[in-house]
Amino acid sequence: MRETLLAYREWSGLGDWIMAMSVLKMVNQQYPHIDITLNLAARNKFGSMQPDHLPPIVEEVARGFDVKIDDFTYYIVPQRASINYDYCSGHMTYAKDGNNFIENMVKKFNYDTDLNVIHDPKAYAQYIKGDDYDNSFDQFKPYVLIQSCSKRKCRVREGKDFGYGNMEVIARQLMRNGINVIQIGQNTDYKIPKVPAFLSVDLNTIHKLMINSEGFIGMDGGLGVFASHHGVRQYIIYEDKVMFSWTKFPHRRQLDGDMGWTGVFNYILSTIEEDREYEKSIRKDYLQAS
């Protein structure tokens, strides 16, 4: 008889769910005899202690990535249901101790399950349920993607948010230098003037925007994690460079927010040609895979 694992997270953050899917992909590879049930209820807002169904884009991650999930459920209190499974993941999260978040998530997962999953730095879960490549965005090419703000929705720099004012001027300066820009994020984000925007779109559209872009400019969060898992070059702006080691993911240039918008813009402009050559060398494989 096959063994069973109940996996869950208590919070609904997009980036953390993508990292959790990478951990479960390692379980698939190293424990193929274990059937995984994934719980799709979690808290969506910091002010609410009541779990709810995941936001659609997060559920698309859970159902659309290349991780073998044998069953899905919506337990409000998954801890109570854990007695029905051979293993329970506990809340899939990580410590902030200077080590890589995914590696830390594996350590906590092992502690909670008594399994011995080996962290595999190449086992990044990827989206596979989307449409094949098409020419939807050819009219914008070549282009980079940009966020206008992070989840704090701040006009000025605050915490993880580099601030709308900074991102807007970076986008404007890029366009003045002949670099096309597309905004992605939530429909509640501040809109950057004169920039095409795809806000609150489904995961399939985000995927096609990403893999056809020349890079993503934003703050540490879900969109950057998605890009890192799909071979998309990123310029990620951090509130503190001490965090660089936490999310040192593939294809990521890490920028200290203390550089200000001028330093960030100058760095992107000085490296984008180099990154274009890099993109050409890897993009063909990702387009074929998609």
Which structure tokens are listed for 273? 């040609």
> CA 53, CA 69: separation in Å to the nearest integer?
17
Whether the Cβ atoms of residue 200 and residue 186 lie closer than 8 Å to each other? yes
73-115, pLDDT tens digit by residue?
A: 999 999 999 999 999 999 999 999 999 999 999 999 999 999 9
> What is the distance in angstroms between the CA of the first residue and the CA of the last residue of the chain?
35
Domain ranges for the chain, please list them: 3-113, 138-289
Cis upstream peptide for 78 (omega within 30°): no
HEC assignment per residue over 62-129: HHHECCCCCEEECCCCHHHHHHHCCEEEEECCCCCCCCCHHHHHHHHHHHHHCCCCCCCCCCCCCECC
Q: Is 154 helix (H, G, I), strand (E, B) or coil?
A: coil
- Lookup result for tokens 């995927």: 207
- Of 152, 172, 171, residue with least CA distance to 162: 152
Greatest Cα pair distance, the chain, in angstroms, is 63
Whether the Cβ atoms of residue 125 and residue 67 lie closer than 8 Å to each other? yes
The pLDDT tens digits along the chain (290 residues) read 799 999 999 999 999 999 999 999 999 999 999 999 999 999 987 666 788 899 999 999 999 999 999 999 999 999 999 999 999 999 999 999 999 999 999 999 999 999 999 999 999 999 998 776 678 888 999 999 999 999 889 999 999 999 999 999 999 999 999 999 999 999 999 999 999 999 999 999 999 999 999 999 999 999 999 999 999 999 999 999 999 999 999 999 999 999 999 999 999 999 987 776 655 555 555 444 44
**∠ CA 43-49-53 to the nearest 5 degrees?**
30
The fold for domain 138-289 equals Rossmann fold (3.40.50)
DSSP run (H or E) holding 92: none
> CA 215, CA 271: separation in Å to the nearest integer?
11
> CA 206, CA 90: separation in Å to the nearest integer?
30
How many CB atoms within 10 Å of residue 267? Answer: 16
Whether the Cβ atoms of residue 15 and residue 224 lie closer than 8 Å to each other? yes
Any alpha helices (H) in 121-259, and if so which ranges?
164-176, 203-211, 222-229
Q: Is 251 helix (H, G, I), strand (E, B) or coil?
A: coil
